Amino acid sequence: MKRSRQRRLHIMRRGLWYSLALCLWILLIGGVGFWLLEPGIDTLQDGLWLAFTTAATVGYGDMVPRTPAGRAFAVLVVLLGLAVLSLVTASLAAIFVEQEVQDEVVAEEMQIEHELMREIRALRAQVQSLQDRMGPSSPTPDKPQNQQVRP
Query: What are 57-78's pLDDT values in tens digits?
Result: 887 888 889 999 999 999 999 9
Residue 150 lies in a domain: no
Structural domain contains residue 118: no
Q: Pick the closest to residue 19 from 77, 91, 97, 79 (CA basis).
A: 91
What residue ranges in the chain does DSSP mark as E strands?
Answer: none
Query: What range defines the domain where residue 18 resides?
Result: 2-102
Q: Count the alpha carbons within 13 Å of 13 in the hemisphere toward its beta carbon.
A: 7
* 32-58 burial: b if 16+ Cβ within 10 Å, else e: ebbbebbeebeeeebbbbbbbbbbeee
137, pLDDT greater than 80: no
> Looking at 28-42, 65-79, 101-115, which range is the least confident one?
101-115
Terminal Cα distance for the chain, rounded: 51
Task: Record the pTM.
Answer: 0.58
CB 18 within 8 A of CB 92: no
If we measure between CA atoms, which residue out of 62, 27, 31 comes closest to residue 45?
A: 31
User: How many distinct structural domains can be found in the chain?
Assistant: 1
Q: Which amino acid is at 138?
A: S
The Cα–Cα gap between 119 and 103 comes to 25
Contact 8, 101 (CB under 8 A): no
Residue 51 belongs to domain with CATH number:
1.10.287.70
Q: Is residue 13 part of a domain?
A: yes
Q: Give tens-digit pLDDT for 43-52.
A: 999 999 999 9
